Amino acid sequence: MLKKVIAVVLIALAAGAWLYLDHLNKQEQFLAEQARQEMMQARAEAATRAASRAKFEAELTEAFNTCKGTADQAKEIFLTEHRKPVKRKPGEFTIPEEIAAQADDTLAAAYAECRLAHDTRYAQGN
């Protein structure tokens, strides 16, 4: 009889230990699944941020190139308006040195403004 009681107690202890270990295992699996979901969410957020950053940088580059193109067109228009015909050579024109220098200075200033606007927007992030 004593052997049967000891056997029942040992079986009950083994079953209790097994249930406790099963509970711990389920807890560990739950925590691992939760960590995996958090990692997937963080990865998705990082991908979204990277995509929006790339879009922002593309927009900035496009705006900068447009600004530079506008400055180049303004210089060409300025030079076209201030060209002088060459004597005795119909259809040929010359541009005085001071006008060309003024156009170059204006273009450099316009490029500097474009760069400043680009850098300011880039620093502000909008």
The first and second tokens of residue 10, run together, are: 């040992």
Note the pLDDT tens digit of each residue in 42-71.
999 999 999 999 999 999 999 999 999 999
* Residues 6+ positions from 100 with CB-CB distance below 8 Å: 79
What is the domain partition of the chain in residue ranges? 2-124
Spell out the residues 6+ positions from residue 71 whose beta carbon is closer than 8 angstroms to its own: 107, 110, 111, 114
pLDDT at residue 22 is higher than 70: yes
Please say if the pLDDT value at position 7 is more than 70.
Answer: yes
Q: Please tell me whether the overall predicted TM-score, pTM, comes out greater than 0.85 for this model.
A: no
Residue 12 has pLDDT above 80, yes or no: yes
In Å, how far are 11, 13, 14, 38, 96 from 6, measured between CA atoms? 8, 10, 12, 48, 115
Beta-carbon contacts of residue 79 (< 8 Å; ≥ 6 apart): 95, 99, 100, 103
User: Which tokens go with 126?
Assistant: 């909008």
Token pair 């180049």 is found at 72
Question: Are 111 and 68 contacting, i.e. CB atoms less than 8 angstroms apart?
Answer: yes
